[in-house]
């Protein structure tokens, strides 16, 4: 049997490269690769684990284990159960593998790394690199053919492993989806295929095919009859008023095999705290589009829990986001959070936002709708901008870069990419091939026509097309 233990230590970048194109199969948007969603640093190495193994997360660290192993969280004892292997996540009993591992089995333990105890780490262990992550194999527990003990300062954990599969498990070490979701950097662009969900004063975006479950019953946090707070049971959006308490359910005796991480969102609007887990929140909160969101530091597995303060509400909402795969879906949902009242976009506010964004890097997607549906009024506008401090629309100044993409309900799309006074215009009728052309505005700085056409970095043709769609627009309804 193999045992593994975890112990913890006490962006999107918008890129635009404008190019003139004519009669191409792709639009200037696609040729310019803008907005381009780069994987933030850190990155989850999805190739690190053998097929069929299940990720086990503790804070910023992730390893994968066979599905037949047992995974025990915060266990008070080092009792083994699986005849193949056990994974102990932050056990209170210390390193279980150090207490002896039955022949043929494996144990892996992950616990918080004691930074004060191991300073500098190089004085206590031999430096190695696993999947791009620096680890230190402790001299006092030198690696053997069947495992060893490793310090991982960048992820804040210490891992001890022993048994036949120990080294293979340690070899799956990578960043966790949680670390990707909470990494610093720019917010990702929300895919145009996603939809908005509004509930309890919040608005956020999710993939359109995710089912939505609204309930008055407290749902708990994770799969019923499994360790709570570890992972969702499936990919759903659950919206709960928590008017009624969590239902008592008879659970059969189940082995604590690893829980497969799932994407998903759960919003609890009527709780003072989660009833099934003990939450500890970070003192360092996030500013998400005007909302204050404080992430929970415990539990720190495959569900990210946040206490979100909504303007006008007496108590915070609990927003829980599933952490699966490379973490980008969770990060996109997280950074789409905003106050529901912020969702009403009028023609005046739309243009005011563009004008206020004369400097900086951002992207946004606006869904336009009208009381009576029409091709002109049911449209999506995607805006992206990169303009350094001091950018100006005037010839000779620092050039900024912008993209406006207007997609109508029938699939027809018109797109404008601007860099300084260079304009690339692309048109696609329905879903036909793109047709693009490029040219320059009048270079006369005193030209009234040039000034009107580029305030606020919005080509005149784009302004007219947007105005037609915006005139019939009404604020979107809450879900």
Residue 190 or residue 455, greater confidence: 190
Mean pLDDT (whole number) for 33-37 = 29
pLDDT in tens, 411-451: 788 777 766 666 677 777 876 777 777 665 444 333 333 33
Mean pLDDT (whole number) for 186-193 = 86
pLDDT band at 84, cuts 50/70/90?
confident
pLDDT of residue 444: 38
pLDDT of residue 143: 53
Mean pLDDT (whole number) for 105-128 = 79
Looking at the chain, the whole-number percentage of residues with pLDDT higher than 90 is 34
pLDDT in tens, 364-401: 555 544 444 444 446 677 766 665 555 554 445 556 66
Cβ(28)–Cβ(21) below 8 Å? yes
pLDDT in tens, 129-149: 999 999 998 865 545 556 788
pLDDT of residue 274: 85
pLDDT band at 22, cuts 50/70/90?
very low
Q: Assign 3-class secondary structure to the chain.
A: CEEEEECECCCCCCCCCCCCCCCCCCCHHHHHCCCCCCCCCCCCCCCCCCCCCEEEEECCEEEEECCCCEEEECCCCCCCCCCCEEEEECCCCCCHHHHCCCCCCEEEEEEECCCCCCCCHHHCEEEEEECCEEEEEECCCCCECCEEEEEECCCCEEEEEECCCHHHHHCCCEECHHHHHCCCCCCCCCCCCCEEEEECCEEEEECCCCCEEEEEECCCCCCCCCCCCCCCCCCCEEEEEEEECCCCCCCCCCCCCCCCCCCCEEEECCCCCCCCCCCEECCCCEEECCEEEEEEEECCCCEEEEEEECCCCCCCEEEEEECCCCCHHHHHHHHHCEEHHHHCCCHHHHHHHHHHCCCEEEEEEEEECCCCCCCCCCEEEEEEEEECCCECCCCCCECCEEEEEEEECCCCEEEEEEECCEEEEEEECCCCCCEEEEEECCCCCCCHHHHHHCCCCCCHHHHHHHHHHHHCCCCCCCC
Min mean pLDDT across 71-85, 88-102, 144-158 is at 88-102
pLDDT of residue 146: 67
Min mean pLDDT across 92-101, 186-195, 245-254, 299-308 is at 92-101
Cβ(343)–Cβ(198) below 8 Å? yes
pLDDT of residue 379: 67
The overall average pLDDT reported for the chain is 74
Q: Residue 465: is its pLDDT beyond 80?
A: no
Q: Residue 455: is its pLDDT beyond 60?
A: no
pLDDT in tens, 286-334: 988 888 999 999 999 999 999 999 877 888 999 999 999 999 999 999 9
- Can you tell me the distance from the alpha carbon of 253 to that of 275, in angstroms, rounded to the nearest whole number? 21
């Amino acid at each position: 049997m193999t045992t593994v233990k975890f112990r913890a230590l006490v962006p999107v970048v918008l890129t635009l490269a404008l190019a003139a194109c004519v009669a191409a199969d792709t639009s200037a948007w696609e040729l310019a690769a803008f907005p381009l969603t780069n994987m933030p640093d850190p990155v989850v190495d999805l190739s690190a684990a053998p097929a069929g193994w299940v990720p086990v997360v503790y804070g910023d660290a992730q390893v994968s284990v066979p599905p037949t192993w047992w995974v025990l969280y915060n266990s008070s004892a080092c009792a083994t159960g699986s005849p193949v292997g056990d994974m102990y996540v932050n056990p209170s009993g210390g390193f279980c593998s150090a207490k002896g591992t039955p022949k043929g089995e494996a144990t892996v333990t992950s616990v918080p790394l004691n930074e004060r105890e191991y300073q500098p780490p190089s004085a206590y262990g031999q430096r190695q690199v696993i999947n791009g992550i620096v680890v230190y194999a402790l001299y006092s527990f030198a690696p053997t053919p069947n495992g060893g003990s490793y310090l991982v300062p960048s992820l804040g954990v210490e891992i001890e492993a022993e048994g036949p599969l120990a080294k293979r498990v340690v070899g799956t070490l990578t960043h966790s989806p949680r670390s990707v979701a909470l990494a610093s950097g720019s917010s990702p662009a929300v895919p145009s295929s996603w939809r908005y969900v509004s509930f309890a004063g919040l608005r956020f975006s999710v993939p359109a095919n995710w089912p939505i479950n609204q309930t008055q019953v407290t749902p708990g946090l994770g799969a019923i009859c499994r360790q709570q707070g570890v992972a969702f049971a499936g990919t759903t959006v659950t919206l709960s008023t928590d008017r009624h308490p969590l239902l008592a359910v008879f659970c059969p005796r189940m082995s604590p095999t690893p829980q497969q991480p799932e994407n998903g969102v759960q919003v609890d609007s009527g709780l003072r705290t989660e009833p099934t887990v003990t939450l500890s929140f970070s003192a360092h909160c996030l500013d998400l589009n005007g909302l204050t969101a404080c992430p929970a530091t415990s539990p720190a597995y495959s569900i990210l829990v946040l206490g979100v303060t909504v303007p006008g509400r007496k108590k915070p909402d609990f927003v829980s986001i599933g952490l699966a795969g490379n973490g980008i879906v969770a990060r996109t949902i997280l950074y789409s959070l905003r106050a529901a009242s912020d969702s009403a976009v009028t023609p005046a506010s739309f243009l005011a936002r563009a004008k206020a964004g004369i400097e900086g890097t951002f992207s946004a997607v606006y869904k336009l709708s009208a009381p009576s549906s029409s091709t002109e009024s049911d449209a999506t506008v995607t805006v992206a901008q990169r303009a350094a401090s001091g950018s100006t629309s005037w010839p000779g100044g620092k050039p900024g870069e912008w993209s406006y993409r207007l997609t109508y309900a029938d699939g027809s799309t018109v797109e404008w990419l601007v860099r300084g006074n260079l304009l690339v215009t692309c048109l696609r009728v329905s879903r036909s091939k793109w047709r693009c052309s490029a040219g320059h505005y009048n270079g006369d700085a005193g030209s009234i026509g040039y000034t009107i056409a580029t305030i606020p970095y919005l080509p005149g043709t784009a302004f007219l097309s947007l105005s037609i769609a915006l005139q019939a627009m009404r604020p979107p309804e809450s879900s």
